[in-house]
Structures are given as structure tokens and as C-alpha cells.
Amino acid sequence: MRKYIIQIILTTLLFIGAGRLFAQKILLPFDRITALEVNRQLYELDTNIHFSYKPLLLNKSEYDTIMKHVQKRLGAKHREKWGGRKLFNENLAVLQAKDFYLTIDPLMNFEFGKDLDDKSNGQVTTNTRGILIQGNITEKVYFRTDFYETQSYFPTYMDSMILSSGAVPGQGKAKPFKTNGYDYPLVTGIVNFQASKNVNLQFGQDKMFIGNGYRSLLLSDNSSPFLFLQAGLSLFENKLNYHANWSALQTLVKVHGGGGDDLFARKQANFNYVSFKPNSIWEIGLFEGVIWERWNENSYSQDFDPLFINPVPFVNSFAKKSDTLVNSILGMNVFVKPFTYTSFYGQLSYGLEKEGVGFQVGTKLYEVLGIEGLSLQAEYNQVGGNVYGVKNDYVDYFHYNQPLAVQQMEDFSEVILIGNYRHKRFLLYAKASLADVVNPSIGDVTIQNYEANLGYIFNPITNLMVNAGVRYRDHSVTGSTNWVYFGLKTNLRNLYYDF
């Protein structure tokens, strides 16, 4: 029955959006390096692209134009030799035929470092090898998959987090590796089908981010990737966008009698987002996140609720408001760009069950003081208690024991300041986050995180770069971490270690 209901919904969406097809598509990675350059260029245009739902889906021709501008800003030279082109300008491998385009690139993160404040701890290292494959089949289908295999040794504060949660932040389930190390593979993949001019369908396992800030109080890329089916609809010349998302999440609670890695308690989620952008200046969106319990240790598997299939936003939240097997988060997202290189943004989050509230305000500035390549960002986040429902593993706003929204989750306030300066291939980055957190176990704590690094970008296609820097963390109860590092990596994802 469930299978036929899904087929009916998808068929209906196809007919709603029937019409002329767009050109080939590509989903942009939403790492901060790519976002920094892409947003700066998109800010210059009077575009109707909705910035707040990521990853951004662009025409491949738009992406190619952006990458040409990036190469120009990097001072890229025309290189005749194969090795020079592949290292500095191009994908490693490109396969192209009629109605088919595919690229293959290596992924890596070889980072070496040490916590200078921990005399008992050895080196802090990460050894990641991976591969990225993406491409187009005709104008209708875009696909991407990547695979990471990683072994890491972390500083003490991260080691404690991993031991308590069982997962590496933003990545996956942690398996022991030698002495005090962790082994954690990660696979993502997505297929985007452009059904018509107005409708696109996506299926895969990946992350999403709703908002324009460093954090998101609604849905962020803070957790591990999760399995999803998504339908996107654009109307009125893209002034109105709607994304309906059906997701499968996982706890790290073993089911009754289970012994394998695949026998953890599951839960389901709806993530619905409606955004309206009447012009290039402002954009407003409404969000609904609904978590459905699928298993618990008393009654085991729960009956499937047909309302989970419902694509109409906000119906499920209010229809199930008093249902203890459902947890709903509602929210609003606002983005305003009054000037070419200046934007303001904000969010509200609301836990429907216990009426907890959170909010965010922030600003981004590009080409500050007329200095090309200089950008600044300031952000304030504050979340009270009872927003995300953290008391019940089976309906809480977590996946793989990792928050789906902002990292601290509840009872905290935080100020974030970020500065970037890019000159040709050099990138200077500095960030400070200052948080006051109410910890149920130890009371009020302050957590300060500072990071600064200098990088040199070889190839903007994968952000292949060398960099060196320091991460300094001070926790008012557990002490400080002074983590210095250097490495060689491709940078196509965000990892949040500043908690």
C-alpha cells in the first residue's frame, strides 16, 4: 500500500510541473570555501535563486561560468602539460559523449597535528582517502557519489564526545582503531531527476542545510548523511519554492535481540520548507521538521502512520501535536540583501511539544571597505530549553546521536565572528565562537573556540589545498585544548569541531 501511495504522489508532481526542461544541472557542495566564492558572485546578480536551501541546484552552465570567474580571481594560468592542468585547473578524469558527462576526482585529508596542552596525548592525525564521481545523463539526470575511508586520532575533548555518542561528529559510527583511534567510512550519493521546468526529484543519502548562517537552528549539515526522497517544486518564475522531504534516520540504540550494525532502532522524518522570493532583495521561508518513532524497547516496531506520506506542510505537526510518538519543530528563515555585498539573515525555531524557542540573527559582508577578497560575518544564536526534544532517543532531533540542527542544541547562547581574506590562491581564515551553555550535569559553563589558518588552493574544482593553523578551545570546567595542525586536503564539506 505504501509503495502505491508514493507512486501516486510522484506521478501527481510530474503532471503539476509538466513543461519545458532546463539545461543540465549540478548540485553545489556547500562547504564554506565554495560558498564564499559562489555567494559573492551570486550577490552581484539580480538573481531569483533561493539562497537558503542547500545544496544549491544550479544549471551546469551557471556553474561553469562561476568556476571560470574563480579561476580568473585565482590568477590561473593556461597550462599545456597534462599534470599542470589536472593539478591546478581541471577534474582528474572527464568522460564525455552524447547526452553523457562524467568526472572523477580523488578526495583526501592528510592532517597532522598535536594538542600542545595535553602532555599525555600523542599526535592528532587524520588519514582520509576517497573518490568523487559526478555527472549528467541527458538534461534530466544529475548524479553524484563520494566515498571516504578515514582513520583518526582526536584531542581529548573530541575523544570524550565520540566515546559518549558512538559517532564521529558530522561523519559516522566510530569503530576502534589501534590504540585510542577511530575508523569511520562515509558514503554519500544522490540522483537528481529534473522532471520538468518546475519539478525536480532527488533520492539519495546526503546532508542538507537550511539557512544563511554558520549554524542553522532548523536543519544543518552537522550530523551524518541520511537516506531521503525529496520533491522540489518552483512556481511563478521561481518566486515560490517548495521542498518536501521524506527521510530515514537512525539511532545507535540496538533493537531487541539485535547484534549487527544494521540492527539499530530507526525513526522517520519529514522536512518541509516553503520559501518566497519576490525579488533579489529578500527571501522568507517557513520550515517544518517532524520526527516519527518507529521502534522502542517496550512495544518494538510501531505501525506505519499513513500521514508520514502527506506532502502538505504543517498538517502533520498539528494533526499529531498530542501524539507522544511524534516530535515537531517549526521555524522561519529570513534573508535580506539590501546592497550588493551586504546581507542580513535570521531564524526562529519553535518546539511544538513543549513550546521552546530559539532565534538567530546575523550579517555577511563581502568586499569589505572596498578590499577585494575580504569578507566578514557576525552571528548570534540563542536557544532555550524544550525546542528539539532531547529526552527520548526515538523521536529526538538527532541522527546517529548527532544533532540535526545547531550543535549545542538547547539552553545556550553563542556569538560567532568570522573573517576571510582571499588573494589569488591564498586564503586566510579566522573564527571565534563564544558560548554560554547550561549543562544539566555540571551547571553553567562557558566555551570559547578560536581558529585561524592559512591555506593555498591548488585546484578550485575540489578545493585541493595545503593549510596550517591552530584551533584553541577553552572550557570553563574541563580546561583547554591548543590544537595545531597542518595538512593536505580536498575541502568539499563542513565539519564542526567547535563545540
Residues in the chain: 499
Q: Quick one: which H or E segment has residue 406?
A: none
pLDDT of res. 262: 54
- Which pLDDT does position 355 carry in this prediction? 86
Say yes or no to pLDDT of 18 above 90: no
Answer yes or no: are the C-beta atoms of 449 and 432 closer than 8 Å: yes
What is the residue type of 143?
A: F
Per-residue pLDDT averaged across 236-243, rounded?
A: 95
Greater confidence, 17 or 244? 244
Does the pLDDT of residue 71 top 90, yes or no? no
Is residue 472 over pLDDT 80? yes
Cα–Cα separations (whole angstroms), residue 340 to 44, 280, 312, 343, 494: 6, 10, 35, 8, 26
pLDDT reported for residue 394:
87
In order, the DSSP letters of 250-283 are: EEEEEPTT--STT-EEEEEEEEEEEEE-SSSSEE
Question: 287 pLDDT exceeds 90?
Answer: yes
Q: Return left, alpha or beta for 62; rule: phi > 0 is left, psi -120 to 50 is alpha, else beta.
A: alpha
Over pLDDT 90: what percentage of the chain?
69
Predicted confidence at residue 14, as pLDDT, reads 43
Model confidence at 348: pLDDT above 70: yes
Phi and psi torsions of 121, nearest 5°: -90, 145
Residue 296 clears pLDDT 80, i.e. is over it:
no
- The Cα 474–Cα 446 span in angstroms is 8
pLDDT above 80: residue 389: no
pLDDT tens track for 303-328: 889 999 999 999 999 998 888 889 99
Range from 205-214, 290-299, 344-353 carrying the lowest mean pLDDT: 290-299
Percent over 70 (pLDDT), the chain = 93
Backbone φ and ψ for 346, nearest 5 degrees, come out as -165, 165
Cβ atoms within 10 A of the Cβ of 303, count? Answer: 8
Q: Is the dihedral of CA 479, 482, 488, 491 positive or negative?
A: positive
Q: Given a cut of 50, is residue 31 above it in pLDDT? A: yes
Q: What span, in angstroms and rounded, lies between the C-alpha atoms of 93 and 102?
A: 8
Answer whether residue 268 shows pLDDT above 80. Answer: yes
Mean pLDDT of 433-439: 93
Q: What is the pTM of this model?
A: 0.91
pLDDT at 436: 96
Confidence label for 439 from pLDDT (cuts 50, 70 and 90):
confident
Q: What confidence score (pLDDT) does residue 406 get?
A: 92
301-315, 425-439, 462-476 — which is least confidently predicted?
A: 301-315
pLDDT in tens, 443-457: 899 999 999 999 999
Q: What is the pLDDT of residues 79-123, one digit of tens each?
A: 788 998 999 989 999 999 988 999 999 999 999 999 999 877 678
pLDDT band at residue 264 under the 50/70/90 scheme: confident
**Separation of alpha carbons 383 and 406, rounded Å:** 9
Residue 1 clears pLDDT 80, i.e. is over it? no
- pLDDT, position 258: 47
439 close to 408: Cβ distance less than 8 angstroms: no
Q: What is the pLDDT of residue 10?
A: 45
CA distance 73 to 67: 10
Q: Region 209-238: what's the mean pLDDT?
A: 96
What is the spatial distance between Cα 116 and Cα 221, in angstroms, rounded to a whole number? 29
Average pLDDT, the chain: 89
Q: Is the pLDDT of residue 20 over 80?
A: no
> In 10 A of CB 489, how many CB atoms?
19
